[in-house]
């Protein structure tokens, strides 16, 4: 009981902060963004349908905040990250970065914004050009975006290498000479070279050993504090996101199922899918603190995004499915302070 | 105790940790090391170098003029003056062999460079931009591949009065560009989906930079290997066309038109010294270039050599 009270108090504080900061401190605002990939068929390669990789997604991220995005493979989370960075063209919707809509601006204008937004990819080997030395890799953003001299670039790359826990002498080495964790540090150094405000982390630790994951996560957290970075942190399980996020969004089949402050998601998950994801995290039973959660199990595969179920897209796997789910698509609605969920159980 | 592994003291030069820590090697240096470990390829490089030296410095090795005809010295057997005898026009076979190497190598190398230029430019455009441009370029390539090379080349040669070496090179390059273009395009298509290319776009790199810094260095293996193998096939093409009389015409000496002398049964039977050396020269050159190509492929793509 006391626990519950404390929890509510915490929430209200969080919420008041949220309200206060909402407008002036929103760094990036995604509004109704859609990304449909056409499906071509027949001899004439006519568009016969669409894969709705990202379907009507909206959220805000405040400056200095970390929004975790969680979902299984094919939920559209990586596509969402790429659309925000305009590595993929959004089909529809608006992306406001520092108040400016970047969803449909030309490449030249977009180049200016790229200084402020960067990405760290999942596979640190695939995301580093194998033919470039570490120095070249880290200095490339400076070369492309600034007029820094060779000496300045070298200086900066050494600084960055030391920031991410590598040595200055590593500058002349090549990516193949490093371990996975070290490569991811190089990726991070490269992403930070231009002092961006916003970094999309596309499953940055999924390819790493568990012991290394924690190190890299801690590094990212330290760098966030030091440089005041804003993260969009994509992951496929709630376990990793827990350490780094302020808020968490759960995606299912291109849509946001639930979005809430971190503590809310973990202690009071509302959407059956979120509950199922939490059930899947192995828990060490320490006897006292373990929250007794109802076990929600789902089975089956993610339906094809080319042909999603009518109404609620989760209904085919939902243990609480009822008639309304097939008929009507649940909207993302606020149930409590800052806790949004798209499920008919709560309306 | 006796079973303590001894391999920590291995004398293998690759297992010297100190050395590796001091000096890190770029992917290119690693490829070079792998190439140099391939004996056949290294020997082939020397063979090609010897052939280049012999043909470039031909005047040093013979004082005969390869184009000088002498009606009083037709089809002579080898002598002190004419080491390999003379041909039907009384031209010195040895001089023609040396000078002919120039033509074969120039044709092979220039046609390869020309094709490479076309292939890299068109392949890059098609592979990078995709869509409609890709479609246009690739359909043009398909049409070129559809036309039988020999018939096309013969037709063009037949129309033109006199085939000069630059013209010959141009014809070869313009009729054989599709294969290299396809290879480069294909390599780009797979590179385009790599995350480091997305990463380069995320920092705002220009298309030009992405092609030259990210695509070409990563496609250099297949490009170099195929260009090398192509050079060998161009030398064969030159010889083949010259052999049937549609190549570079007399009096310019080429290995191909030297062999064409052997179309005459009398020469084939009585004068093996006239056609065996040029045939052997073609064989050695093409073989050596192919070995170098194989060596380069293994060097750039170590996976391919793990048999």
pLDDT digit string, tens, across residues B221-268: 888 888 988 898 898 888 888 888 787 877 888 888 888 877 777 777
Run of H or E residues at A340: strand A339-341
Q: Which residue has the tokens 């939920």?
A: A75
Alpha carbon B214 to chain centroid, angstroms: 25
Most confident range, picked from A173-182, A223-232, A266-275: A223-232
Q: Which residue from A122, A141, A174 is facing B203, i.e. has the nearest CB?
A: A141
Q: What is the pLDDT of residue A103?
A: 85
Looking at the predicted structure, is the pLDDT value of residue B279 above 50? yes
> Span A110-120, mean pLDDT?
90
> Span B152-168, mean pLDDT?
82
Confidence of residue A4 (pLDDT cuts 50, 70, 90): low
Confidence of residue A297 (pLDDT cuts 50, 70, 90): confident
Is A63 exposed, middle or buried (CB count within 10 Å of its CB: 0-12, 13-18, 19+)? middle
Calculate the CA dihedral of residues B99, B101, B103, B109 and round it to 10 degrees: -150
Domain containing A315 — which CATH number? 3.40.50.300
Q: Say how far apart CA A62 and CA A28 lie, in whole Å.
A: 7
Closest chain A C-alpha to B281 CA, distance in angstroms? 38
Instruction: State what percent of residues in chain A have pLDDT above 70.
Output: 89
Looking at the predicted structure, is the pLDDT value of residue A234 above 80? yes
Residue-wise pLDDT for A160-179, tens only, equals 999 898 988 888 888 888 88
Q: What is the pLDDT of residue B25?
A: 73
Closest chain A C-alpha to B220 CA, distance in angstroms? 10
Mark yes or no for CB contact A129/B213 under 8 Å.
yes
Looking at the predicted structure, is the pLDDT value of residue B306 above 70? no
Beta strand ranges found along A15-160 (DSSP E) = 26-41, 46-62, 66-70, 92-97, 100-101, 117-120
Q: What is the pLDDT of residue A12?
A: 46
Q: What is the side-by-side order of every strand in the sheet holding A66-70?
A: A117-120, A198-202, A230-235, A66-70, A247-252, A255-261, A339-341, A333-336
Q: Which residue from A132, A145, A173 is facing B203, i.e. has the nearest CB?
A: A145
Q: Which residue from B24, B200, B202 is facing A118, i.e. has the nearest CB?
A: B202
Q: Which residue has the tokens 């039988």?
A: B148
Smallest CA–CA distance from A178 into chain B, residue: B24
Alpha carbon distances (Å) from B223 to A263, B20, B157, B183 = 55, 29, 29, 8
Tokens of B48: 């090609």
- Which chain A positions have a beta carbon within 8 Å of B218's beta carbon? 129-131
Provide ipTM, 2 decimals.
Answer: 0.80
Mark yes or no for CB contact B27/A176 under 8 Å.
yes
Q: Which CATH number fits domain B26-65+81-305: 1.10.3720.10, 1.10.8.60, 3.60.15.10, 3.40.50.720?
A: 1.10.3720.10
Looking at the predicted structure, is the pLDDT value of residue B303 above 70? no
Q: What is the pLDDT of residue A291?
A: 56
Confidence of residue B287 (pLDDT cuts 50, 70, 90): very high
Mean pLDDT, chain B, as a whole number? Answer: 81
Residue-wise pLDDT for A47-86, tens only, equals 788 888 888 899 999 988 999 999 888 888 889 999 999 9
Looking at the predicted structure, is the pLDDT value of residue A181 above 70? yes
Weakest-pLDDT range from A136-140, A158-162, A245-249, A267-271: A267-271
Residue A117 within a domain? no
Q: What is the pLDDT of residue A22?
A: 47
Cis peptide before A193 (omega within 30 of 0): no
- Top pLDDT among B11 and B68 is at B68
Bridge partners of A52?
Answer: A36
A100 touches chain B (CB under 8 A): no
Q: What is the pLDDT of residue A200?
A: 93
- φ, ψ (nearest 5 deg) of residue A280: -80, -10
CA-nearest of A257, A256, A254, A230 to A244 is A230
Q: Which residue has the tokens 């500058």?
A: A171
Q: What is the pLDDT of residue A40?
A: 81
Looking at the predicted structure, is the pLDDT value of residue A10 above 70? no
Q: What is the pLDDT of residue B121?
A: 92
Q: What is the pLDDT of residue B195?
A: 87
Confidence of residue B292 (pLDDT cuts 50, 70, 90): very high
Contact between B99 and B63 under an 8 Å Cβ cutoff? The reply is no
Residue-wise pLDDT for B177-210, tens only, equals 898 999 999 989 888 888 899 889 888 888 889 9
Q: Which of residues 121-180 of A touch B (CB under 8 A)?
A: 121-123, 126-133, 140-141, 144-145, 172-174, 176-177
Looking at the predicted structure, is the pLDDT value of residue B307 above 80? no
Give the global pTM. 0.78
Most confident range, picked from A223-232, A288-297, B20-29, B290-299: A223-232
Q: Which of residues 18-37 of B touch A (CB under 8 A)?
A: 24-28
- φ, ψ (nearest 5 deg) of residue A95: -125, 110
Looking at the predicted structure, is the pLDDT value of residue B14 above 80? no
A311-324 in b/e burial notation, b at 16+ Cβ within 10 A?
Answer: bbbbbbbbeebeee
CA-nearest of A55, A32, A67 to A265 is A67
Smallest CA–CA distance from B24 into chain A, residue: A173
Confidence of residue A7 (pLDDT cuts 50, 70, 90): low
Domain that holds residue A252: 2-108+233-346
Q: What is the pLDDT of residue A14?
A: 46
Domain boundaries, chain B: 26-65+81-305
Closest chain A C-alpha to B293 CA, distance in angstroms? 21
Alpha helices in chain B (DSSP H): 17-22, 27-36, 39-56, 58-61, 93-129, 131-146, 149-159, 165-192, 195-202, 207-209, 216-243, 255-259, 265-270, 272-300
Residue-wise pLDDT for B85-110, tens only, equals 777 777 788 888 888 888 888 889 99
Mean pLDDT, chain A, as a whole number? Answer: 84
- φ, ψ (nearest 5 deg) of residue A256: -85, 125
- Top pLDDT among A142 and A279 is at A142
- Which chain A positions have a beta carbon within 8 Å of B194's beta carbon? 126
Looking at the predicted structure, is the pLDDT value of residue A305 above 90? no
Mark yes or no for CB contact A174/B218 under 8 Å.
no
Mark yes or no for CB contact A121/B195 under 8 Å.
yes
The separation between the first and the last C-alpha atoms of chain A, rounded to the nearest angstrom, is: 26
- Which chain B positions have a beta carbon within 8 Å of A114's beta carbon? 202-204
Q: Say how far apart CA B29 and CA B19 lie, in whole Å.
A: 15
Q: How many CB atoms lie within 10 A of CB B302?
A: 12
Mark yes or no for CB contact A121/B198 under 8 Å.
yes
Looking at the predicted structure, is the pLDDT value of residue B24 above 80? no
Q: Which of B129, B187, B195, B224 to mutate to test the interface with A (most CBs of A within 10 A)?
A: B195
Closest chain A C-alpha to B107 CA, distance in angstroms? 32
Q: Which residue has the tokens 């880290």?
A: A138
Helices (H) then strands (E): counts for chain A = 11, 12
Q: What is the pLDDT of residue A118?
A: 92
Q: Say how far apart CA B86 and CA B78 lie, in whole Å.
A: 8
* Structural domains in chain A (count): 1
């Amino acid at each position: 009981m006391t626990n519950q009270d404390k929890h509510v108090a915490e929430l209200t504080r969080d919420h008041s902060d949220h309200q206060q900061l909402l407008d002036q401190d929103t760094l990036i605002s995604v509004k109704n963004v859609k990304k449909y990939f056409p499906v071509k068929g027949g001899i004439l390669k006519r568009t016969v349908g669409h894969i709705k990789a990202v379907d009507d997604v909206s959220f805000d991220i405040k400056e200095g905040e970390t929004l975790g995005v969680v979902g299984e493979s094919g939920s559209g989370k990586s596509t969402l990250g790429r659309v925000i960075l305009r590595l993929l063209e959004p089909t529809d919707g608006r992306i406001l970065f520092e108040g400016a809509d970047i969803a449909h601006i030309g490449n030249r204008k977009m180049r200016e914004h790229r200084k402020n937004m960067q990405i760290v990819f999942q596979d640190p080997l695939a995301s580093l050009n194998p033919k470039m030395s570490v120095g070249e890799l880290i200095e490339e953003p400076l070369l492309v975006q600034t007029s820094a001299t060779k000496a300045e670039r070298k200086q900066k790359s050494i600084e960055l290498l030391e920031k991410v826990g590598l040595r200055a002498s590593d500058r002349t080495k090549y990516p193949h000479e490093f371990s996975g964790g070290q490569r991811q540090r190089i990726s991070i150094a490269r992403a930070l070279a231009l002092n961006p405000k916003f970094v999309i982390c596309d499953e940055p630790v999924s390819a790493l050993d568990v012991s290394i994951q924690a190190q890299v996560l801690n590094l990212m957290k330290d760098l966030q504090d030091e440089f005041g970075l804003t993260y969009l942190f994509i992951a496929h399980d709630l376990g990793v996101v827990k350490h780094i996020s302020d808020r968490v969004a759960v995606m299912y089949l291109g849509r946001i199922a639930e979005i809430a402050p971190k503590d809310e998601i973990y202690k009071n998950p509302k959407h059956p899918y979120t509950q199922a994801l939490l059930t899947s995290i192995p828990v060490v039973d320490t006897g006292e603190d373990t929250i007794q959660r109802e076990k929600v199990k789902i089975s089956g595969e993610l339906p094809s995004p080319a042909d999603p179920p009518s109404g609620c897209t989760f209904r085919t796997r939902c243990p609480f499915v009822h008639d309304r789910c097939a008929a009507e698509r649940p909207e993302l609605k606020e149930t409590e302070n800052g806790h949004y969920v798209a499920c008919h159980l709560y309306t | 105790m006796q079973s303590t592994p001894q391999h920590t003291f291995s004398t293998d030069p690759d297992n010297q940790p100190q050395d590796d820590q001091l000096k890190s090697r770029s992917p290119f240096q690693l490829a070079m090391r792998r190439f140099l470990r391939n004996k056949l390829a290294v020997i082939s490089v020397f063979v090609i170098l010897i052939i280049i030296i012999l043909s470039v410095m031909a005047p040093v090795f013979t004082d005969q003029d390869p184009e000088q005809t002498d009606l009083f010295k037709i089809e002579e057997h080898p002598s002190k003056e004419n080491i390999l005898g003379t041909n039907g026009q009384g031209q010195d076979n040895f001089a023609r062999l040396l000078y002919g190497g120039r033509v074969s190598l120039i044709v092979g190398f220039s046609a390869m460079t020309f094709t490479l230029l076309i292939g890299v430019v068109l392949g890059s455009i098609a592979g990078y931009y995709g869509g409609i441009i890709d479609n246009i370029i690739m359909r043009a390539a398909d049409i070129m591949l559809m036309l039988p090379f020999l018939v096309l080349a013969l037709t063009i040669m037949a129309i033109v009065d006199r085939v000069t070496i630059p013209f010959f090179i141009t014809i070869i390059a313009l009729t054989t560009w599709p294969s290299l273009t396809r290879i480069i395009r294909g390599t780009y298509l797979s590179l385009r989906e790599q995350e480091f290319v997305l990463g380069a776009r995320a920092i705002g790199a220009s298309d030009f930079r992405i092609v030259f810094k990210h695509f070409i260095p990563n496609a250099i293996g297949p490009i170099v290997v195929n260009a090398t193998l192509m050079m060998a096939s161009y030398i064969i093409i030159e010889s083949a066309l010259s052999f049937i009389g549609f190549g570079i015409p007399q009096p310019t000496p080429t290995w191909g038109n030297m062999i064409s002398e052997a179309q005459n049964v009398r020469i084939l039977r009585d004068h093996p010294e006239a056609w065996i050396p040029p045939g052997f020269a073609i064989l050695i050159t093409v073989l050596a270039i192919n070995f170098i190509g194989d060596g380069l492929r293994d060097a750039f793509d170590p996976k391919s050599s793990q048999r």
